[in-house]
Chain A
Amino acid sequence: MRPEVDALSLAVIRGRLEQIADEMDTVFERMAFSPVISDAWDRADGIYSAVDGSMIVQGVRGLPIFVGTMQYTVASVLAAIKDPKPGDMYLVNDPFAGGTHIMDTKMVRPFYYGGKLFAMLANTGHWTDLGGRVPGGFAAEASDCYQEGLRIPPVRLFTDEALNSDILAILQTNSRLPDDVLGDVQAQATALRAGDSRLTELLDEYGADLVSAVIDTLRERSSIQMRSYIKDIPDGTYQFTEDMDNDGIVDKALSIAVELTVSGEEMTVDFSKSSPPCEGPMNSVYAATVSSAIVAIKHVFPDVPINSGIFEPLTFVIPETVFLNAKVPRPVAGCAAETSQRIITAVMGALAGALPDRVPAGSSATSNNLSIGGVDEEGDPFVMYIFLGGGYGGHKAGDGLSNGCSLMSIGLIQSVETLEQRYPILVRQYSLRENSFGEGEFRGGLGVHFEFEYTGDRGRASLLGDQSKTAPIGRAGGGPGAASAPWFRLRGEKVILPMISKGENIPLTRGDLICMLTPGGGGYGNPSARSDKALRADVESGYVRAASSAL
């Protein structure tokens, strides 16, 4: 019999649980070695059910894409492990075991209280390199998942707090950055231990029965809350299709076709009219597809709670016949960073049909994942991985943000000065990309121009991007933004990749240039309604060249 949960305990314990997850995030990012964790916050920490892995709470600063994926990870660990003990910690990165791409490496710690398994603590972080055919893992031409890096099923990496050096040796041997592997493992383990002691304190203070009851109640309340948002959406069926450039191997568009059916307080999200599984790495896995749809809903209704209860009124239809529910051995390197974003813009596009005032115009939805491996000026090997921002769409109340982060991310980019300290590059230009915004009463934000010279030796560049063939759309009469337009200058020759936004192991020599021109956001509302003052400012600031403007 579960105890009665009073209103005060519910609010207090919810806040405490959220804070435990936040503290785990802090410890993890402070200690991590991979810059993509410490700078780009490509990580998440949370507390999950020990019964089915469902999400109890995740840190508010966790990377959005992980909001819906982690519970599938924990469920896969629960299914795989036989004899969990206090002080054990499991490692897994298998995309098909509730994951995303191979680089997102999870650790899961069974949490015991009073000798009983109470919950699971887990975190995930993007490790810079786990092997595979290209440094950094974004292999644009991988034709199966075995080429993408070391795939790890749930394995017990710590037994009674002791690190299993055999497994560690396998990990380090298979990474181009073995030091980072150990640094990130220690950071993740320390964060989980911090969560363990804080959760123990909470249970000491309130008792396991009350906290369990609160956890159950939170799940119910989250479902009620989700239902109330769905109710805000008028009943009906709303469709939208986003076309991705290609899969990196076959130059043919991939369609994400979503159909939202809202009926009262319930919603069905149906992707079954999307393209079939593809040869290249733009396939998505089930967990990442579901999570992307949740992120889209949260971008429109930011107060949707981060708790598994929100899934209760939602039905997902993602058959294995579409590329958004790929199975082994499909390659999936593009799922977390690229396909996810277009799922987000597709779902937001469908929501715009229902709630035209609440959804901004189309935003940049490619990260232009760029990795370079090579040898620096001191002769040391390196792997650099960066991704770039773009313009957000204009919206009912204002212009779009310029250089916004990827839609499923929140991460900072390393400063140019830090990049130049760490890697053999010289950045020639990092600026807003002029004329890249969509016109409108409220214009889109600008994309960026990021251009650099390679100053190392024996370099190999790989690019995994998209949105070079279809630009972010305008809404309510606004115009589209500019599409992505990356180019290279290799040994003096300007090169546009055959797949434009994708290519791998491009040989670099000293002096070669790489230039990313990222998408600008679409405009919102009729451009003729834009104020004179705003138009003048656009010209004065050079966001638009006077010659090409309407003035």
Chain B
Amino acid sequence: MEYIAGIDVGGTFTDVVLHDAETGSLRIAKVFSTPGDQAEGLVSGLNQLEVPLERLGAVVHGTTVATNAVLERKGDRCALVTTHGFRDVLELRRRDRPTTYGLTTGYTPIVPRSLSFEIDERIDSKGRVCTALNEDEVHELARQLRKANIESVAVCLLNSYVNPTHEQRIVELLTKLLPDVAVSASYELCPEAGEFERANTTAVNAYVSATMSRYLDSVQKRLNSQGFSQEVQVMQSNGGLTPASRAGHLGARTLLSGPAAGTVAAAAFGAASGLANVISCDMGGTSFDVALIPDGSPAITSEKNIDYGIPIKLPMIDITTIAAGGGSIASVDRGGILQVGPESAGSDPGPACYGRGGNRPTVTDANVVLGRIAPKQQLGTQEGFEIDLSAAQEAIRKVIAEPLGLTVDEAALAVIRIANEKMAAAIRSVSVDKGYDPRNFALVGFGGAGPMHIVELARTVGATSVLIPPHPGALSAYGCLIADAKYDYVTALNATVEGSSLADTVQQILAEHRLAGDALLTNDGFDTTAITVEHFAEMSFSKQRYTLRIPLGDIESNWTAKCLIQAFLDQHATTYGGKHPSRDIKLINLRTVATGKRSLQMGAALPASTGHALAKRTITFDSMTVMVDVLSRDTLTVGQTLEGPLVIEQTDTTIILPPGTTSVVQNDSSLLVEVAR
């Protein structure tokens, strides 16, 4: 079992990173994804590396199957069961509209109204039964569901997070009456207050369960048929792994699978270079994903909208996505002010420089004009594809330079700067949101376009260190390779922090969480010594809507009211810096993360050769236009120091090191760049 593989299936490419335990070497394959059947691209990527699958010890998979099913509303035939009077819980949302201005956007709920059913029962906010469950109705419901030919069902009753008995009973009956139907229960997935978010999370989970199970089955079978003997592992949005057999039923936990893996890798490379605080910056063709990683751990959110009206109430790495990428279109607005995005040229027609009829300038065109993307550069694996420099220049000249009275180079620099400003704003807002100053963080730049922008982006933010991992174009696959297994537990309390019995209650709940995590991880094959737990309390002033997440470490006992209140007030002061307006404080939820550590010995991650010879190229920076050396990344050696301006090329990306930078090649082949202000 000398090999393990991390595989990230994205929208365009499937990346495979293969680790050889004997030599410590890494090999990479990048093939086109196969949207109809993603398993096909996955297997062909693996096969390209010619690894005998019987010698493969693990396959860890980042997938977008669930995400695409949700965003395109192409999931299973799914029904929703809820409390009498609340059939429309999904379509009502929380009454929001997608944009502050403009009244013409619609909404499609995950489950249509025609497949939303009500059951006569009611439990109040204190968990008391107001109306008993009518089991005859459940039997009748089962008949209707069978008639409607549904594949999966989500059950979410009002206040089931306080008292789940009715929901449990319905799930029990439906599982018995409809053995072929996958049942998702809200009290199991996310037992927290907020019926819309809980119902939507449960509906999403049910909606993708059949699709996910079929897909993971097919991946497993194909790999088995070639000799693979282990269970495929799947990356979850929380940055941890779970076996495929479980992931099929927990599709809602995989919606940020790939991006989460990228963040896990960014954290690992940061730690390896001794950087405690990093921010992961993934810039691709259409979007920019940013996540805060303070003290080496990616920031976690307990709820996130993955689309308008599609909140997911599950712990996941807090990744913020904005529409800024190589394809973002630059324009001059009616007031004569330069804008970049949010519109994107996509891949069709794509940037002007693709020569496919696009005549609106993009960020990629600006990079071409400035010499940062070489005219002869291959894009992806398309044969014979050449960049059209004059089309890029023409688009920038006509749309940006002339209206603003700038030269073409000045206009292109301005486009890059505004794109960087937008990304910097996203970085600042995720930092400020959590009470951090981004200037104290190092930026980890990856994604196809990340390494080209990352140094100037750091200057815009005011950060002075940048880290560029060895394979910036395949970082999510690498993250899959190194991730640990992770499970989350939550118990809602919504209790005022007071009283002498509080510490006992807290201890009991945290111990239950730990035991549940231990059981699952042991079942997954982890040794007791490899299992760790971290506990958290989510607290707020009783009138506040937003909670703060207070880390409790692995300590379960002696969390008295006094201790918890002090911990909360300290965190509140750090986060907001404001005064404490009240002492009426609530403990909303207790959470636990159980982690199973995988024991991996990662060697130096040597990048693959680009085949590019040493060359020179003219590049325009803010301060100068200058002829710079172009190096191939595989020629760099550990400990080597590089002074900018410089270009480093590798198969998956181009790294631009502007003047005023000093870079050192790290032991793991990452490039640590010190940026002078």
Q: Is the CB of B334 within 8 A of A225?
A: yes
B85-117 interface mask toward A, CB cutoff 8 Å, 1 = contact, 0 = none?
A: 111110111111101111111110000111000
Q: Which of B102, B433, B578 contacts A26 (CB 8 A)?
A: B433
The chain B residue sitting closest to A63, CB to CB, is B100
Closest Cβ neighbor of B112 among chain A residues: A541
Which stretch in A28-36, A252-260, A273-281, A473-481 binds the other chain? A28-36
B584 partner, pick from A14, A35, A179, A420, beta carbons under 8 A? A179
A469 near B: Cβ within 8 Å? no
Among residues 205 to 251 in chain A, which have CB atoms less than 8 Å away from a CB atom of chain B?
Answer: 221-222, 224-225, 228-229
> Is B283 among interface residues, defined by CB-CB distance under 8 A?
no
Interface size class of A (residues with CB under 8 A): 35 or more
Which of B106, B114, B338, B582 is within 8 Å of A182, CB to CB?
B582
The stretch of B137-145, B386-394, B418-426 that contacts the partner chain: B418-426
Interface 1/0s, chain A 413-444, versus B by CB < 8 A? 10111101100001111111000000000000
Is B543 a contact partner of A33 (Cβ separation < 8 A)? yes
CB distance from A9 to the nearest CB of B (A): 10
Contact B195 A7 (CB under 8 A): no
Choose one: B107, B161, B581; the contact of A417 (CB below 8 Å).
Answer: B161
Shortest beta-carbon distance from B408 to chain A in Å: 13
Cα of A448 to Cα of B77 in the assembled complex, Å: 26
Question: A35 vs B546: C-alpha distance in the bound complex, in angstroms?
Answer: 10
Residues of chain B contacted by A304 (CB below 8 angstroms): 101
Q: Is A268 an interface residue (CB 8 A)?
A: no
Give Cα A540–Cα B114 distance, bound, in whole angstroms.
6
Among candidates A39, A187, A401, residue contacting B578 with C-beta atoms closer than 8 Å? A187
Q: Tell me which of B88, B101, B546 contacts A431 (CB under 8 A).
A: B88
Within 8 A of A (CB), among B48-99: 85-89, 91-97, 99
Contact A432 B414 (CB under 8 A): no
Task: Determine the residue in chain B with the shortest Cβ distance to A300.
Answer: B102
Which residues of the partner chain B approach A7 to less than 8 Å between Cβ atoms?
337-338, 404-406, 414
Decide: B158 and A416 in contact? CB cutoff 8 A.
yes
Q: Give B307-345 as 1s and 0s: 1 = Cβ < 8 Å from A's Cβ atoms.
A: 000000000000000000000000001111111000000
Residue ID in chain B nearest A420 by CB atoms: B125
Given the interface contacts A413-B95, A421-B494, does A31 sit within 8 Å of B576 by beta carbon? yes
User: In the bound complex, how far is the Cα of B4 from the Cα of A350, in angstroms?
Assistant: 67
Asked if residues B87 and A305 are in contact (CB atoms below 8 Å), the reply is no
Chain B residues within an 8 Å CB radius of A32: 544-545
- Give chain A residues whose Cβ lies under 8 Å from the Cβ of B197: 415
> Contact partner of A399 among B106, B339, B410, CB < 8 A?
B106
Residue numbers in A under 8 Å from B615 (CB-CB)? none
Say whether, besides A7-B406, A11-B414, A33-B581, A389 and B544 are in contact (CB < 8 Å): no
Measured CA separation A61–B195 after assembly (Å):
24
Interface presence of A459 (CB below 8 A): no
A189 within 8 Å of B (CB atoms): yes
Tell yes or no: A298 within 8 A of B by CB: yes
Partner-binding segment picked from A143-151, A315-323, A404-412, A483-491? A404-412
The residue on B at minimum CB distance from A64 is: B100
- Please tell me if the beta carbons of B104 and A405 are within 8 angstroms of each other in the complex: no
Distance of A8 Cα from B106 Cα, bound (Å): 36
Cα distance, A304 to B102, chains bound together (Å): 11
A398: chain B residues at CB < 8 Å are 104, 106
A4-16, CB under 8 A of B: which get 1 and which 0? 0001101110111
**B302 CB → nearest A CB, Å:** 15
User: Which B residues touch A421, using CB under 8 A?
Assistant: 125, 193, 494
- In the bound complex, residues from chain A placing their C-beta under 8 Å from that of B553 are none
Q: Check A183 against B97 for contact (C-beta < 8 Å).
A: no
B324 to chain A, nearest CB (A): 12
Tell me the minimal C-beta distance from A517 to chain B in angstroms.
14
| Complex Cα–Cα for A23 and B576 (A) | 12
With known contacts A302-B101, A403-B93, A542-B114, A23–B429 Cβ distance under 8 A: yes
Q: B196 on the interface (CB 8 Å rule)? A: yes
Report the number of A-B residue pairs with Cβ-Cβ less than 8 Å.
221
Docked-complex contact A416 and B195, CB < 8 angstroms: yes
- Interface: A363 (CB within 8 A): yes
Check if B207 is an interface residue, CB within 8 A of chain A: no
User: Is A27 in contact with B418, judged by CB distance below 8 angstroms?
Assistant: no
Which of B96, B421, B432 counts the most chain A CB atoms within 10 A? B96
Contact A415 B194 (CB under 8 A): yes
Query: Is residue B541 contacting chain A, with contact meaning CB distance below 8 A?
Result: yes
Given contacts A7-B406, A23-B429, A403-B91, is CB(A229)–CB(B578) below 8 Å? no
A302/B545 contact (C-beta < 8 A), A8-B417, A541-B112 known:
no
Asked if A80 is at the interface (CB within 8 A of a chain B CB), the reply is no
CA–CA, A541 to B89, complex, Å? Answer: 14
B405, B422, B428 interface centre (most CB from chain A within 10 Å): B428
Asked if A42 CB lies within 8 Å of chain B CBs, one says: no
Name which of B86, B125, B197, B546 has the most chain A CB atoms within 10 A of its CB: B125
Restricting to A34-53, which residues have a CB under 8 Å from any CB of B? 34-35, 38-39
At the interface, yes or no: B384 with Cβ under 8 Å from chain A?
no
B147 at the A interface (CB under 8 A)? no
A191 to B: closest C-beta gap in Å = 9
A410 to B94, CA, bound (A): 10
| A85 at the binding interface (Cβ < 8 Å) | no
Instruction: Tell me the complex Cα distance, A418–B544, Å.
Output: 12
Residues in chain B near residue A429, CB distance under 8 A: 85-86
Residue A303 at the B interface, CB < 8 A? Answer: yes
Asked whether B124 is an interface residue with its Cβ less than 8 Å from the other chain, the reply is yes
Q: Return B635 CB to nearest CB of chain A, in Å.
A: 36
Is B130 engaged at the interface, CB distance under 8 Å to the other chain? yes
For A16, list chain B residues within 8 Å (CB).
421
The reply to whether the CB of A132 lies closer than 8 angstroms to some CB of chain B is: no
Q: Which 3 A-B pairs have the closest CB atoms?
A: A190-B578, A221-B335, A429-B85
9 chain-A/chain-B pairs, Cβ below 8 angstroms:
A7-B338, A8-B414, A10-B337, A39-B545, A189-B578, A221-B335, A221-B336, A402-B107, A411-B95
Which of B's residues lie within 8 Å of A, judged by CB?
A: 85-89, 91-97, 99-107, 112-114, 122, 124-125, 130, 158-159, 161, 193-197, 333-339, 404-406, 410, 413-414, 417-418, 421-422, 425, 428-429, 432-433, 494, 541, 543-546, 576-579, 581-582, 584
**Which residues of A are interface residues toward B (Cβ below 8 A)?**
7-8, 10-12, 14-16, 19, 22-23, 26-27, 29-35, 38-39, 60-61, 64, 179-180, 182-183, 185-187, 189-190, 193-194, 221-222, 224-225, 228-229, 295, 298-299, 302-305, 360, 363, 388-389, 392-393, 395, 397-405, 407, 410-413, 415-418, 420-421, 426-432, 448, 451, 537, 540-543
